[in-house]
Chains A and B, each alone.
Chain A
Amino acid sequence: AQTVTQSQPEMSVQEAETVTLSCTYDTSESDYYLFWYKQPPSRQMILVIRQEAYKQQNATENRFSVNFQKAAKSFSLKISDSQLGDAAMYFCAYRSAFNNNDMRFGAGTRLTVKP
């Protein structure tokens, strides 16, 4: 079974600075998708960014970008120009391209943004 590991339970960043959240995963599949979800205090799960494993180019969404290293099975999220509204739990997720497309989540990283 696929596993997703987020080794940083908590991270802190100064407003306007850059922070990187780490994620590694374990899989024997060749095709899959990786996601970062954000969960603010409202508890709503919000998609931040998505990466297809067959694409070498790292995904970017405005201030959010990823560093996808397929051989190392690493998928980190970089948040640039951090804003107070970025404070939340961030979950890395793996989704199989085959079969049931089940999505598995890491334990999460709590990001604090300091003004």
Chain B
Amino acid sequence: DSGVTQTPKHLITATGQRVTLRCSPRSGDLSVYWYQQSLDQGLQFLIHYYNGEERAKGNILERFSAQQFPDLHSELNLSSLELGDSALYFCASSVGLGQGSGANVLTFGAGSRLTVL
């Protein structure tokens, strides 16, 4: 157990629907990162939150949104789902931000596998 909890583990839904993926970071970690991994591909950076504030956006579609709550858990909302959104969605957490914090590793959750039919 990495300490990063993601729910649900698996989710099957239909095109046009909306889903919410949830992430609880490791205790003490203030940063939450979301990544998308399509079949047999690398991890695409979606978005980064630090202590409730959005810090950076990557290749995140406008149909996707995220937030980090006061208790530091984060949710990734995916709407108007398309077949191409089927992927493994990872959440990762880390301590700190800025100078010196880059040495801290990202701890990954087990991922949420989304299948859009």
Contact = CB atoms under 8 A, between A and B. Distances in A.
Interface string A45-63: 1010010100000000000
Contact of A101 (B2, B43, B90, B101): B101
B45 interface: yes
Interface in B75-117: 88, 90, 92, 94, 96-106, 108, 110-111
- Candidate in A33, A96, A102 with the most chain B CB atoms within 10 angstroms: A102
A104 interface: yes
Interface residues of B, number: 31
Interface stretch (A14-22, A64-72, A77-85, A105-113): A105-113
A77 to B, nearest CB: 15
B55 to A, nearest CB: 4
B42 interface: yes
* Overall SS of chain B's interface: mixed
Contacts of A96: 102
Given A43-B111, A45-B90, A102 B45 contact: yes
Contact of B56 (A50, A95, A102, A108): A102
A50 to B, nearest CB: 6
B74 interface: no
Given A43-B111, A44-B110, A106 B42 contact: yes
26 contacts: A32-B102, A43-B88, A43-B110, A43-B111, A44-B2, A44-B111, A47-B105, A52-B103, A95-B102, A96-B102, A97-B99, A97-B102, A98-B102, A100-B50, A100-B55, A101-B101, A101-B102, A102-B33, A102-B45, A102-B48, A102-B56, A102-B58, A103-B106, A104-B45, A107-B42, A108-B41
